[in-house]
């Protein structure tokens, strides 16, 4: 009855297929607005305009936006989910680039914190490493077009492990 | 009874199906829909948009079924935390098992159909349940 080949390929490069969420939320109360916005932010959505966000389409992103659309309905708003293709490659590249830039900034923040932590006492360094690994996992989840900064940030965080002898090698980019 | 959900099942739907067979309907028959509009009239939908047994107030469908059917078994709720985090990843719970299970379920959906995912995950959820049941009895990590 089901066909495993239906599973959408994972997004990596712009594939031309996007899922859009168009929504309106009541101004008040503000709590659901904030909850929804946090969820969208966590998913790393591209904001196209007020009340219109986009993600590269795959099984996971479609499902997340479907549930968020339902939730918007439950709190008195309206939402529709669309499958779309940008009319031009240029537009799509801009969208993907904006998303990659947002992730790059997050990776740079991790890299900066990891670099600072190299000078800390071992216990403090390990604590920072654990925290930054969790942060990297969160960023990976919403990183649809991995920027070059990903590698440097990951390397710098792993270098905080006690098995990595502190070296004067420069990991900053 | 007949139960229906969206095809291409991931962790929440696989766990719901396991829970339905285990606690609600041992003879449950599952239908996997490619188009939600094909919902058979005699089937109870779960983990589908608009279904009562879906996501509500930040809960995943597995949690919703536990609440609706007043299932309070702490081992089921411990599994619910894992399903919630693997599905929604919003850090409501501390469930370190979630990322691993999430990846396993994604891989299963790439290599087989929904029937096979259910066949493979049923003993996995049985095992998780037994683990948490013993953990609860012992008050520590079971051997």
What separation in angstroms does the CA of B142 have from each of A157, B32, B134, B138? Answer: 33, 36, 6, 7
**Mean per-residue pLDDT, B36-41:** 92
Query: Which residues of B lie closer than 8 Å to A, measured between beta carbons?
Result: 7-8, 10, 31-32, 34, 49-50, 54-58, 89-90, 99, 109-115
The whole-number pLDDT of residue B21 equals 97
Residues of chain B found within 8 Å of residue A141, distances taken between Cβ atoms: 89
- Select from B56, B89, B110 the Cβ nearest to the Cβ of A4: B110
CA pair distance A21, A140, nearest whole angstrom? 22
The whole-number pLDDT of residue A170 equals 46
**Mean per-residue pLDDT, B33-57:** 93
Tokens representing A143 are 């990183």
The whole-number pLDDT of residue B18 equals 98
Contact B115 A7 (CB under 8 A): no
Please, what is the Cα angle at A124 between A119 and A128, to 5 degrees?
90
The whole-number pLDDT of residue A14 equals 66
Q: Where are the alpha helices (DSSP H) in chain B?
A: 11-19, 61-68, 74-88, 98-111, 114-138
Contact A6 B7 (CB under 8 A): yes
Helix (H), strand (E) at residue A98: helix A89-117
CA pair distance B125, B127, nearest whole angstrom? 5
- Select from B34, B58, B112 the Cβ nearest to the Cβ of A4: B112
Statement: residue B15 has pLDDT above 80 = yes
- Comparing C-alpha atoms, which of A93, A91, A84, A88 is closest to residue A61? A84
CA of A38: which chain B residue's CA is closest?
A: B90
Contact A6 B112 (CB under 8 A): no
CA pair distance B115, A11, nearest whole angstrom? 26
Query: Which pLDDT tens digit goes with each residue over B97-120?
Result: 999 999 999 999 999 999 999 999
CB of B122 closer than 8 Å to CB of B108: no
The whole-number pLDDT of residue A162 equals 86
Statement: residue B23 has pLDDT above 90 = yes
Contact A66 B49 (CB under 8 A): yes
**Mean per-residue pLDDT, B112-141:** 96
CB of A126 closer than 8 Å to CB of A114: no
The whole-number pLDDT of residue A165 equals 60
Q: What's the predicted TM-score (pTM) here? A: 0.86
The whole-number pLDDT of residue A166 equals 54
- Comparing C-alpha atoms, which of A11, A33, A9, A38 is closest to residue A23? A33
**Mean per-residue pLDDT, B81-98:** 95
A&B contacts, CB < 8 Å: 50
Beta bridge partners of A21: A53, A81
Q: Are strands A52-56 and A46-49 parallel, antiparallel or unpaired?
A: antiparallel
Provide the 10 A C-beta neighbour count for residue A167. Answer: 9
Tell whether the torsion through CA atoms of B120, B12, B126 and B115 is positive or negative.
negative
Residues of chain B found within 8 Å of residue A68, distances taken between Cβ atoms: none
% of chain B beyond a pLDDT of 70 = 100
The whole-number pLDDT of residue A2 equals 39
A4 shares contact with chain B (CB less than 8 Å): yes
The whole-number pLDDT of residue A59 equals 86
Contact B110 A39 (CB under 8 A): no
Name the band, by pLDDT with cuts 50, 70 and 90, for residue B14: very high
The whole-number pLDDT of residue B39 equals 95
What separation in angstroms does the CA of B25 have from each of A81, B18, B21, B29, B54? Answer: 33, 10, 5, 9, 18
Contact A70 B54 (CB under 8 A): yes
Residues of chain A found within 8 Å of residue B55, distances taken between Cβ atoms: 67, 70-71
The whole-number pLDDT of residue A117 equals 96
Per-residue pLDDT of chain A (173 residues; tens, 9 = 90+): 433 333 333 344 566 899 999 999 998 889 999 999 999 999 999 999 999 999 999 988 999 999 999 999 999 999 999 999 999 999 999 999 999 999 999 999 999 999 999 999 999 999 999 999 999 999 999 999 999 999 999 999 999 998 876 555 544 44
């Amino acid at each position: 009855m089901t066909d495993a080949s239906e599973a959408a390929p994972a997004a990596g490069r712009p594939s031309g297929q996007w899922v859009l969420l168009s929504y309106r939320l009541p101004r008040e109360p503000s709590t659901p607005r904030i909850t929804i916005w946090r969820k969208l932010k966590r998913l790393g959505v591209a904001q196209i305009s007020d009340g219109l966000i986009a993600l590269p389409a795959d099984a996971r992103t479609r499902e997340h936006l479907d549930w968020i659309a339902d939730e918007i309905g439950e709190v008195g708003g309206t939402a529709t989910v669309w499958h779309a293709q940008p009319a031009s490659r240029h537009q799509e590249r801009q969208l993907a680039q904006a998303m990659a830039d947002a992730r790059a900034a997050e990776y740079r923040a991790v890299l900066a914190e990891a670099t600072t932590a190299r000078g800390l006492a071992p216990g403090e360094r390990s604590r920072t490493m654990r925290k930054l690994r969790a942060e990297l996992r969160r960023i990976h989840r919403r990183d649809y077009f991995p920027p070059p900064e990903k590698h440097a940030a990951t390397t710098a965080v792993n270098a905080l492990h006690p098995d990595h002898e502190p070296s004067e090698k420069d990991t900053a980019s | 009874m007949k139960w229906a959900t969206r095809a291409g099942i991931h962790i929440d739907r696989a766990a719901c199906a396991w829970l339905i067979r285990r606690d609600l309907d041992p003879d449950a028959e599952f239908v996997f829909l490619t188009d939600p509009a094909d919902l058979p009239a005699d089937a109870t939908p779960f983990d589908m948009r608009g279904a009562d047994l879906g996501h509500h107030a930040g809960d995943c469908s597995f949690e919703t079924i536990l609440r609706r059917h007043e299932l309070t078994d702490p081992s089921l709720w411990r599994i619910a935390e894992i399903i919630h985090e693997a599905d929604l990843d919003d850090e409501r719970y501390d469930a370190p098992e979630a990322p691993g299970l999430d990846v396993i379920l994604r891989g299963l959906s790439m290599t087989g159909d929904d029937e096979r995912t259910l066949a493979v995950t049923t003993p996995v959820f049985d095992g998780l349940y037994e683990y948490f049941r013993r953990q609860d009895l012992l008050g520590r990590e079971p051997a």
